[in-house]
Amino acid sequence: MAKKLTIAVLFFLAALLLIGCNDDEKDKESQKESDSASEAIETEDVKEEETEKVEEEAAASSLLLHAPAIPTTIDEMANQLPGLFAGADNIYDYADEIKQEFDKVGPLPENPTDEEYDQYLRYIYSLVAEDYPNPEDVIKQWQFASFGNPDLPDSRYHFKPNYNIEILLDASGSMANYAGSRTRMEIAKEAILQFVQKVPKKANVSLRVYGHEGTGADRDKELSCSTIEQVYGFAPYDEEKFKNALSEFEPAGWTPLAGALSAAKESMASFHTDDHTNLIYVVSDGIETCDGDPVAVAEELSQSDIQPIINIIGFQTDQEAQKQLQEIARVADGIYATANNQEELQAEFKRAEEVLEAWEKWKRDALKDVKAGQVDASFDIIAIHNKWSSITRRTMNNMWRLITQLDELEFITFEQRMELDARRKEIKDDIEELVRELRKNLEQMKAESFEEAQQQIEKIFQEQNS
């Protein structure tokens, strides 16, 4: 009996030992699986970090590679777009924004190549670049000021029996923004009123507004985009009626610019260019937001039987809007002008007032007018030269201040700062030479243009008196 008991105890102990061994094996396998999972997670985290790092480096490289080239011609200068810090009075006030921008591209390498220096400098320039007045618009303004000469090559500038003016006014929500102490809309209304008060009595005037219903919310998009209204005309100017028309709307919603141009085309369809001089003024502070294509519509409009002269005034526009409005003027062979304040907006309408006055008196004292126009052109040249010079000085100063700020923010070393500044000075010299070249070219064009105009007028008078 004792022997049987001993055997039973031995079997029990063996079973316990087996169970213990199995548990140990399971624990080891479980630990092994846990360790493998942890290693896999760590490996995945490392891969994600490496991927993020590669993506960040690629994004930084892309920003530098795609920074616009620094202009080397007058045309490139005239068409460059303003940067994030364009016209900054004190670049040091933007330290946080500068750090945010350069966090995207990172610091200069310790030993930069020439290409890396150039890429970094291009990016710096793109941030402080400013909008230069386009000399092509000055030349077009000279032609506009010569309005009425029957020998001008562009028949749109010949005087016709009828004169029609349509003003398209952007009444989208952004026109409620302030420009100084008054809203953009208040300033625009006043400038338009002053303009139409000076038009000849027989001229037909129209005022069309767009985007003045609803809000800028998505739910109001359809309402706002479909709201394009001719609130006055076509009719000769009547002060009371026109003032009432101006009071009927306030800035509200979206920007159906393409629709407004289409409506203008439809309303002017009977004004054939053979007998009508047609002017369209667009005053806008923003880009098309109603899914239309204002560039295509403007091109169609310019090729229609109306053949209007389209004048675009960009009022405190951002870079994207400016680009679109300039393109509208380009395809329509019109005139684009930027107005950043009330004085500049009124100055653009003042040019039109002078043309309208000439409609009634062109051939009177023709030679005298040409000489006066030559004087005005000289002032135009001085003005654009001074503007280009002041923009260049401010841009170059802001480049230097931005480079200094990058040193203080430790994106570049002191030695790199000095090298970047040496390269900046070379750019400054090149651009200043372009400014001098611009003035020389405009002076030559002015002399040739007005000498030819004088000869044409003398020829006309000789034929009339023979």
- DSSP-assigned states of every residue in 309-353: EEEEEEES--HHHHHHHHHHHHHTT-EEEEE-SHHHHHHHHHHHH
pLDDT at 444: 84
DSSP symbol at 412: S
Tell me the pLDDT tens digit for each residue of 354-390: 666 665 555 455 556 666 666 677 888 888 999 999 9
pLDDT at 360: 53
Q: What is the CA radius of gyration of the chain?
A: 34
Q: What is the mean pLDDT of residues 308-314?
A: 90
pLDDT at 39: 63
Alpha carbons 428 and 422: distance in angstroms, whole number: 10
Average pLDDT over the chain reads 82
pLDDT at 437: 93
Tell me the pLDDT tens digit for each residue of 129-188: 999 988 888 777 776 655 555 555 556 556 666 889 999 999 999 999 998 889 999 999
Identify the weakest region by mean pLDDT among 19-28, 29-38, 55-64, 366-375: 19-28
Identify the weakest region by mean pLDDT among 256-260, 429-433, 449-453: 449-453
Task: Determine the 3-state secondary structure of 234 from DSSP.
Answer: strand
Q: What is the mean pLDDT of residues 292-305?
A: 94
Residue 333 scores a pLDDT above 90: no
Quick one: how many helices (H) and strands (E) in the chain?
14, 8
pLDDT at 13: 46
Q: pLDDT class for 460, splitting at 50, 70, 90?
A: very low
pLDDT at 251: 94
AA identity, residue 238: D
pLDDT at 127: 96
DSSP symbol at 165: E
Identify the weakest region by mean pLDDT among 148-157, 203-212, 322-331: 148-157
Question: What is the crossing angle of helices 184-196 and 239-246, to 10°?
Answer: 160
pLDDT at 287: 92
AA identity, residue 210: Y
Sign of CA dihedral 127, 128, 134, 135: negative
pLDDT at 262: 96
pLDDT at 187: 93
Q: What is the mean pLDDT of residues 290-305?
A: 94
Burial of 51 per CB tally in 10 Å (0-12, 13-18, 19+): exposed
Claim: this prediction has a pTM higher than 0.85: no
Q: What is the mean pLDDT of residues 57-69?
A: 72
Identify the weakest region by mean pLDDT among 129-138, 208-217, 247-256, 284-293: 129-138
Alpha carbons 155 and 161: distance in angstroms, whole number: 14
